[in-house]
Amino acid sequence: GIFVLGLPYALLHSGYSGLFLIILAAVLCCYTGKILIACLYEENEDGQLIRVRDTYEDIAKACCKKLFPKLGGIVVNVTQMMELIMTCILYLVFSGNLLSHSFPYVPVTEKTWSVIAFVTLLPCVFIKTLKIVSKLSQLCSLVHFIIILVVMTYCLTQIHQWSWEKFRLSIEFEDFLVSVGVIIFSYTSQIFLPTLEGNMKNPGEFRCMLNWTHFFACVLKSAFALTAFLTWGEETKEIISDNLPSFLQTLVNLCLLTKALLSYPLPFFAATEIAYACISRGNHPGYRSPLLALGVRGSLLLLTLLMTMFVPHFALLMGLTGSVTGAAMTFLLPSFFHLKLKWKKLAFLEKCADISVFILGFLCSLAGIACSVKALLEVFG
């Protein structure tokens, strides 16, 4: 994702520990992805695993059915919707920012550029299946590799300037927390995993797929962050493309714009599926009409634009929301649900692993909230 472009900046503030965090985050996110999918299955009388749940919401309902039958599903749905809508808005904000920096001589404001980017996303209201989204995501991955290749190729041409002395051992605590957030949230994908696993031709290969994707992501992110940081050192900027020479910066920015627009359909599709499922639960046939589905998609599309236009200090509010929803969906809920549903079948070490992940997720969320609230208070005086 776009968070990858902030990894060199994260290394600037985390030093050697940042490289360790990139590896640790890959391991933890891969693990929580596996235990989340494990919660979709139960053993039948013959000891075979049967998929008895389909969504994140179903898992939450199963965990809370004795005390609060509906609460678990509501909490998960609200959390997922917040995370997905905020992600969509982030892509719009990012697109407007990229366009304004790529064409500074055009007398157009950043918000107007965001509206122009929004117009290109209008066909998203007609996306009905995950197949279309997967093809767009493939294109997005291709563009992403081009960006990584361009940046790393330039960095390798500057290898004569590299120095390991640029790495720091001492770090500032608040800066380190920012690095933790960037690194962890560059791996998060748990919201999409139940749908993804359910749509695989061979769901039995899911764990293997998760292992390999996280392994390659870890290797790529480590190499990218390391080469970029060694090239620019203390001058490393928040988005690494800003460090590039002007002729490359424009090219990379346009690739980033393409990537942001191609990334939008995945969280948007997931959000519309959740919203439509919540609305169409009644038995009335009108609730399942194509017109209603189109209306839901159109309303959510318009909501992302309105929030992009009118919410002040959106980046800080997104940081606060991400600290809550991101940590919850990635660490807190998967480990809690796994402990709740599988407690009697888990080995002692598995229980210890789940509890450790839960505590880590809680601490990350708490620290992120504290930093975001502090930044908001400073902005609002």
Max mean pLDDT among 17-21, 71-75, 361-365 falls in 17-21
For 10-123, where are the E strands, in sequence order? 41-43, 49-51
Is the confidence at residue 274, as pLDDT, over 70? yes
Helix (H, G, I), strand (E, B) or coil at 50: strand
DSSP one-letter code for 122: G
Angstrom distance (rounded) from CA 111 to CA 98:
11
Q: How confident is the model at residue 213 (pLDDT cuts 50, 70, 90)?
A: very high
State the alpha helices, DSSP H only, in 109-205: 110-120, 130-157, 173-185, 193-199
Angstrom distance (rounded) from CA 210 to CA 216:
10
Is the confidence at residue 282, as pLDDT, over 70? no
Q: What is the percentage of the chain residues whose pLDDT exceeds 90?
A: 29
Angstrom distance (rounded) from CA 327 to CA 260:
23
Q: What is the percentage of the chain residues whose pLDDT exceeds 70?
A: 92
Mean per-residue pLDDT over the chain, rounded:
85
Q: Is the pTM of this model over 0.85?
A: no
Is the confidence at residue 116, as pLDDT, over 70? yes
Are 53 and 62 in contact by the 8 Å Cβ rule? The answer is yes
Reading the block at residue 267, the tokens are 């969280």
For residues 140-149, give the mean pLDDT.
Answer: 89
Please indicate whether residue 112 or residue 179 has the higher confidence score (pLDDT).
112
Is the confidence at residue 286, as pLDDT, over 60? no
Q: How many other C-beta atoms are found inside a 10 Å radius of the C-beta of residue 270?
A: 21
CB neighbours of 356 closer than 8 A, spacing ≥ 6? none
The least confident of 53-57, 246-250, 303-307, 367-371 is 367-371
DSSP one-letter code for 241: G
Are 371 and 322 in contact by the 8 Å Cβ rule? The answer is no
Are 330 and 29 in contact by the 8 Å Cβ rule? The answer is yes
For residues 155-176, give the mean pLDDT.
Answer: 79
Would you state the pLDDT for residue 284? 47
Q: How many other C-beta atoms are found inside a 10 Å radius of the C-beta of residue 80?
A: 26
Tell me the domain boundaries of the chain: 3-380
Would you state the pLDDT for residue 73? 76
Is the confidence at residue 28, as pLDDT, over 70? yes
Are 307 and 96 in contact by the 8 Å Cβ rule? The answer is no
Could you give the C-alpha distances from 57 to 39, 44, 172, 241, 331, in angstroms and in order? 11, 22, 39, 38, 16
Would you state the pLDDT for residue 289? 72
**314-368: per-residue pLDDT in tens?**
666 666 666 677 788 889 889 999 999 999 899 999 999 999 999 988 887 787 7
Please indicate whether residue 98 or residue 340 has the higher confidence score (pLDDT).
340
Is the confidence at residue 150, as pLDDT, over 50? yes
Please indicate whether residue 47 or residue 21 has the higher confidence score (pLDDT).
21
For residues 114-120, give the mean pLDDT.
Answer: 92
Would you state the pLDDT for residue 1? 66
The least confident of 15-24, 122-131, 174-183, 348-357 is 174-183
Angstrom distance (rounded) from CA 184 to CA 296:
31
Are 361 and 339 in contact by the 8 Å Cβ rule? The answer is no
The closest alpha carbon to 95, from 113, 121, 82, belongs to 113
For residues 64-68, give the mean pLDDT.
Answer: 75
Is the confidence at residue 285, as pLDDT, over 70? no
The closest alpha carbon to 56, from 205, 194, 222, belongs to 194
Please indicate whether residue 290 or residue 288 has the higher confidence score (pLDDT).
290
User: In this structure, are strands 41-43 and 49-51 parallel, antiparallel, or unpaired?
Assistant: antiparallel
The closest alpha carbon to 146, from 259, 264, 9, belongs to 259
**How many residues make up the chain in this entry?**
381
For residues 186-204, give the mean pLDDT.
Answer: 86
Got the DSSP string for 313-377?
Answer: THHHHHHHHHHHHHHIIIIIHHHHHHHHHHGGG--HHHHHHHHHHHHHHHHHHHHHHHHHHHHHH
